[in-house]
Amino acid sequence: ISRGLIRRGELRAMVEEGCLGVTSNPTIFDKAISGSADYDEEIRGILRRAPDVDAGEIITSLMISDIGMACDVLRPVYDRTQGHDGFVSIEVTPSKARNTAATIAEVRELWKRTGKPNLMVKIPATKEGIPAIRQAIAAGINVNVTLIFGLERYGAVMDAYIAGLEDRIAKNEPINMIASVASFFVSRVDTKI
């Protein structure tokens, strides 16, 4: 995802050709922000409103803006498939991968600030990420679990997902519109082999 891709209508064209969802991560945003002038105006606006804002918050604001626009482009897919497709994923800051509390706090913040039902928040399948997955699902937040490198960890991810659904059921909250993806990093395993 990049602002240019969205503004030039390329993402919309991709959706019309059959694209069912998109993802992003900090590396993709770094390239998008540093590789074009598409973000300069918004960065200047943020700095005018809050001159002391740190770089991390600027990047988060830019990501949320782009992700929100991408969610809007993919919303017809989400609606047409009744929430089975049409998702856009945004990743929790990698530096929080070993901190459960920080991960879930950022998951909740990204979910709230984006405010789109077709958002998925990417949570790493680290030991500390597993409880965050459960808490996110229990809160009704769509999750895209990343960094799965083995069957044992995949099992822990699935257990966290099921436990999160059970937590919602215990509170009489709906589970029919909660989506989750568990992504094995097969290419990394292939490369290592």
Residue 70: closest CA among 28, 7, 112, 17: 7
**Strand, helix or coil at 119?**
strand
75's enclosing H/E stretch is helix 55-80
Q: Look at strands 180-184 and 21-23 and give their pairing.
A: unpaired
Identity of the residue numbered 82: Q
* Residue 115 CA, distance from chain mean position: 12
Choose the catalytic residue: 122, 127, 171, 192.
Answer: 122
Tracing tokens 């979910």 back to the chain, one arrives at 111
Q: Is 96 one of the catalytic residues?
A: no
Residue 111: closest CA among 129, 123, 94, 97: 123
Distance CA 89, CA 73 (A): 13
Q: Look at strands 143-148 and 21-23 and give their pairing.
A: unpaired
User: Which sequence positions are flagged as catalytic?
Assistant: 122
